[in-house]
Amino acid sequence: KQSAVIAPSILSADFARLGEDTQAVLDAGGDWVHFDVMDNHYVPNLTFGPMICKALRNYGITAPIDVHLMVEPVDELALAFAGAGASGISFHPEATRHVDRTISLIKEAGCKAGVVLNPATPLDSISCLLGKIDMILLMSVNPGFGGQKFIPYVMDKIRQARAIIDDTGRDVRLQVDGGVDVDNIGELWEAGCDTFVSGSAIFGSGDYARTIARMNAEIDS
Ligand code: DX5
Ligand code: ZN
């Protein structure tokens, strides 16, 4: 397992002050910026695209930008994000016709590549890809909205994914996204996650630094 990463989801940031609020959550101890891209097609909600990613880079955000594409199709937007300063790009395999090609495109564009599994999508579906991807993202809510409750059966899937990754001997990150908070992050770390997306639990708390410090304390203990 790799060292823990907290990736605050700026889906829950103040969009009217996005640069400042993103910098604030990084100053408070966030490691990566989790950037949720929704297209009102693959998911029933609409957020932001590559121009906003580029604007954050121009504003001076230097932390890794972890783009989570909830869009269909994937390839063209993935390339646009690579050009807009994304560090890693994750996509839902069912949203692209040729999954292996999409991974190659992302990597050739110089970004880390991740695949995202919805809560009910089996791990078997990505067994061929384990030698090629940099991250598996397990959704612990149905994608589309922040502030939902963690779906309990995903905990077992996390344990299985950890075992599968360990078998490969490769450094593949295991990220969890949805309903992550101070109360469950310790259990998620124990189960094998190393990369934690959290939106409402951080941005909805009055004190980002305190919340992130409490999350890190749960991981250390
Ligand atoms: C949901 C997004 C998540 C979301 C998580 O589709 O992928 O990243 O922002 O939000 P919370 O932490 O509030 O569940
Ligand atoms: Zn996300």
From the CA of 200, which ligand is nearest?
1
Output the DSSP codes for 50-97. Answer: HHHHHHHHHHT--S-EEEEEE-SS-HHHHHHHHHTT-SEEEE-GGGSS
For residue 57, how far is the Cα from the chain centroid?
18
Full set of structural domains in the chain with CATH: 5-220 (3.20.20.70)
Contact present, 10 and 200 (Cβ < 8 Å): no
Residue pLDDT, tens place only, 67-126 = 999 999 999 999 999 999 999 999 999 999 999 999 999 999 999 999 999 999 999 999
Q: Give the confidence band of 221 by pLDDT, cuts at 50, 70, 90.
A: low
ipTM over 0.90: yes
* Active site (annotated) includes residue 134: no
Of the candidates 21, 31, 36, 39, the residue annotated as catalytic is: 36
Q: Which ligand is nearest to the CA of 45?
A: 1
Is 177 annotated in the active site?
yes
CA of 59 to the centre of ligand 1 (A): 24
> Binding site annotation covers 144?
yes
CB of 88 shorter than 6 A to ligand 1 = no
Give 23-52 pLDDT, tens digit per residue. 999 999 999 999 999 999 999 999 999 999
